[in-house]
Every structure is written in structure tokens, then in C-alpha cells.
Homo-oligomer: A and B are copies of this chain.
Amino acid sequence: MTVQGYDPRTGQPVGDPVESTSDDGVDAVCRAAAEAAGPWSARSAAERATMLNRVADALDDAADALIAVADTETALGRPRLTTELKRTTNQLRLFGEVLHEGSYVEATIDSPNPDIVPPRPDLRRMLQPLGPVGVFSASNFPFAFSVAGGDTASALAAGCPVVVKAHPSHPGTSQDTADVVANALRAAGAADGVFGIVHGVEAGKRLVRHPSIKAVGFTGSFSGGRALFELANSRPEPIPFYGELGSINPCVVLPDAAARRAGEIAAGYAQSLTMGVGQFCTNPGLLFAPPSLVDTLAEAVRGSSGGPMLAERIRDAYQSGVDSLGSSDLVELVATGAQPDGGWSATPRLFRVDADTFVANLEKLTEECFGPAGIVVTYDEPETLLDVLGRLNGTLTGSVHAEPIEHDLAGRVAERLRRIAGRLIYNAWPTGVAVAWAMHHGGPWPATTNPLHTSVGATSIRRWLIPVSYQSWPQELLPPELRDSNPLGIPRRRDGVLGSR
């Protein structure tokens, strides 16, 4: 069995097929990861930071070649891929900063107190790596959510070896990236087992079931994610599964914003909807707006254009989704973007529906249609809007366009959205996910399989760490993070007070 890459612009094969990893191959990679787990976790945070920076440098050095291959396999274009690779290497470097700063281990020291109930001994808690991690790459970010993407960077930073399951729509990019990462780690002195890669559907399932793997990160479709989530939970030893499964990203335009900034809002919406052929988990699939805005929105979408999608399967699913909407009498097609040339291309579409019909057909109309298709849900009264928002399921983001004069309503909308959305956006669009300390890229089911954690930003490292408490432990046997002298100078909590003692 092999995995073959294709050029979405032509539908023709590109590059040599990559061998699917055999059962024995998966076992060998996972065993190597298990053997590397102790030594990798025993390295200091500073050493791991240096290694991540070396990987980032090596990827930057290989940028031209990696981008060329990725462009033939994804048709995302060199400008976008150049930015995406930069984002990827900046992400690796951010985790280097997280490791140096040191508070990610949550070092906590309580002095003994025999007089309370129950009595308290000397207790010292910190987070430590949970073991080898499996990472499933996404199709739509061949660098930033793929082989050397956020899951890999955060897991390596945490002290966990990583085994990546490559995405089948960019096998060449995946293997080339993996070679760069592995060589950089080897040159910096890391054991081979710290990083590995497998290809093929069966290899992915075996990876999730392998006893050496202690957690899994996944970005992809709802159906694929739920199936692997269930596989992870049904193991003899279930493991944490962090899946980002897709999202409808409701955006709300309040009446005054619609009246005063119709053109600007419509242009921003059309750009966010069609950017990257709509292939973002933060694509604004649902827009809630007064009826008066629909014509302006339609005009903007008519001025947009589509392009080739990442894979034939993705284009077919998109086409089937818009066909189903188009032939339904629930919604009205109000705009079609420019028809692109050949290959696996998709054309932008805008549909409209009124709030009552939307609520009556909620399940059908909130299915994610991955690609440049949007639904405008028109509302007349604020109370109708608030009622509809209270019925939505979990999503990665929720956006509000408002004028200061309607902040009272904006606050009520935010109160609805914060219960279902991981990130609330004001007068902007959900596409574009910063890599930062304060980023949360997550949300309640079905946006993710675990609402407590993020897959982007500094705190994504928390997914791969488990607490350990040391009770009455001698100083010389404690990890440096927990010794009285605080040799690493990291932020710690002592007797309940945060500081650097």
C-alpha cells in the first residue's frame, strides 16, 4: 500500500508515492518513542528549548524546497505557504520561550502544618510529561497543523516524544518536513525515538491503540475525529484524545453596525469566507444579520472567486453540501462567486434563511460545509437573535459586529456566545489565529472533544503534562523546579502565594 500525492490544480499525481507504514513499522516507531521518553523528559527545559529552536532554524533553511513541494500538493500558493511556514517556526520558538519562563510546570510548594485538619506534610507539586504522544496532521495547514505544527511543538516542549500520522493529501510535504525535523533533532543530540512519522489509515488506527502512546492530538473532520476519539476511549488503557473537529463560527452583525458599516462588513465577510478557498476551521459559516444587509453581502460574495480545494474528497463533500442546500426549499441561494478554472475547484456560495426557518431546521443548517459557502440568517428583533444564539452547539469562535451605542445588546450576545465559543471576536472576523499566550483555539463539543484545552497558543502545552506531588521528599532527590533554592528561578506558588521564591 502506498499514499500518493495529487496536484489539486490538475487532479494529477505529483511526487513519488510514499509507502504506508506496516504494523511492524508502527510498532517500531512507537517502541522507539517509549524508549526515548525517559531521556527526553530528563533533559532540562532549557535544553529542550534549544532543540526546538534548532528545528525552527532547520525548517527556515529548508523553506524554499518545502514550500515548492507543499504548493504542488495543496495548491495553497507560495505567498500563503511562506507565511504559514513562518508561523510554524515562530510557534516552535514561542514554546522555547514558554520553557525558559518556566511557569508551565505550575511549581507549587506548601510548607508543613501539623495543626490543621487534615494535617499537611511538606508537599511540592509540578507538572511532568505524560509520555509519547500521537499527532494527526490536518489537510488544510500543511505546515502549521501538520508534521511540525502546534501539536508536535507543544508535545516536544512538554517533554513528550511525538509520533506523527501524516495527512494523506500532502505525503511528500509531510515526509520532507519529517526528515528536516528528525535531522535537526539528531544533530542536536536527541535520540531518534523523540520524533517519528507514520503514513496510512491503518497505521493511524494502530498508533491510537498502541500501548506506548499516552495521548493523541488530532485536527480534522468530525467523523474521523469522533471515530478516533472512540478508539482512544475503548483501549484497555484509555488515553486523553484532543480532537479539533470543525466549527460553524457564528458571526453576528448588530443593527447599528449593519446600518453604518454595511460595505466594510460585507467586504470583510466575503474575504474571510473565501480566503484559502474557505478551508479554515474558523471559516465564518453562519452570519446573523438584519435583512437589510443581505444585498450588500450578496454583492460582495459575487465579487469573490474560488479555487482548487485541497483534495478531491474535500471538493466532492463541498459540492455535495452546496448542492443539498441549493436544492432545498429551506434556504435561498443569493450569490455565487466567480467560477474558477479546472482541477478540484470550488465556487463560493451565499445562502439566506430567516431566523424562524433556521431554528426549525437547526440540525441540517448547522452542519459544517467545509469550503467557501456561507448562510446568512436574517433576524428582525434582538430577542429573536438572542433566542437563536442560545440554541447553537459548541464552536471555536463567535464574532460580534457592533457600534458603541448598541453595547448593551452586544453584551447580551456575548453572554450567549461565551457559553458555546472558545474565542469571542469584536468587529473582526474569525479567520486568522494568533499564536500567543492568551489564545484559546478550542470550544465545547462538537468543536472539540475536550473543552478544557486549546490546540494553539502557549497553554496548549498543558495537554501533555500530568501533575506529580512530592511529599516530605529530601531536597537532593527533588527536581530542581521544586528545590527550596529555586535554582531555575522560575515562578512558583509558595503557601498559596504566586511569586518567584
Chain A residues near B (Cβ < 8 Å): 38, 83, 86-87, 90, 97, 101, 103, 106, 108-110, 116-121, 123-125, 128, 130-131, 214, 229-230, 233, 237-240, 393-394, 404, 407, 410-411, 414-415, 418-419, 421-428, 432-440, 442, 444-446, 449-454, 457-459, 462-463, 465-474, 476-477, 491, 493, 495-496, 498
Contact = CB atoms under 8 A, between A and B. Distances in A.
Given A414-B477, A435-B118, A437-B493, A468 B240 contact: no
Contacts of A229: 233, 238
Contacts of A449: 238
Contacts of A410: 474, 477
Contacts of A83: 117-118
A471 B125 contact: no
B110 A474 contact: no
A445 B237 contact: yes
A466 B439 contact: no
A173 to B, nearest CB: 19
Contact of A471 (B90, B425, B493): B425
Contact of A240 (B230, B407, B439, B452): B452
B123 A434 contact: yes
B451 A130 contact: yes
A454 to B, nearest CB: 6
Given A125-B440, A437-B496, A468 B118 contact: no
B468 A424 contact: yes
A108 B437 contact: yes
**Which 8 residue pairs spanning A and B have beta carbons closest together?**
A123-B438, A440-B469, A125-B438, A440-B467, A108-B438, A110-B438, A120-B434, A86-B117
A414 B472 CA distance: 13
A303 B38 CA distance: 42
A435 B86 CA distance: 46
B128 A432 contact: no
B423 A496 contact: no
B472 A427 contact: yes
Given A229-B238, A477-B414, A471 B407 contact: no
Contacts of A424: 468-471, 473
A118 to B, nearest CB: 5
A225 B450 CA distance: 19
Contacts of A458: 496
Residue from A108, A109, A465, A468 whose CB has the most chain B CB atoms within 10 Å: A468
A150 to B, nearest CB: 12
27 contacts: A87-B118, A108-B437, A109-B438, A118-B434, A119-B434, A123-B438, A123-B439, A125-B438, A125-B440, A237-B393, A239-B445, A410-B477, A411-B477, A421-B468, A422-B469, A423-B470, A424-B468, A426-B472, A427-B472, A437-B493, A437-B495, A438-B493, A439-B469, A440-B468, A452-B465, A453-B467, A498-B498
A29 to B, nearest CB: 20
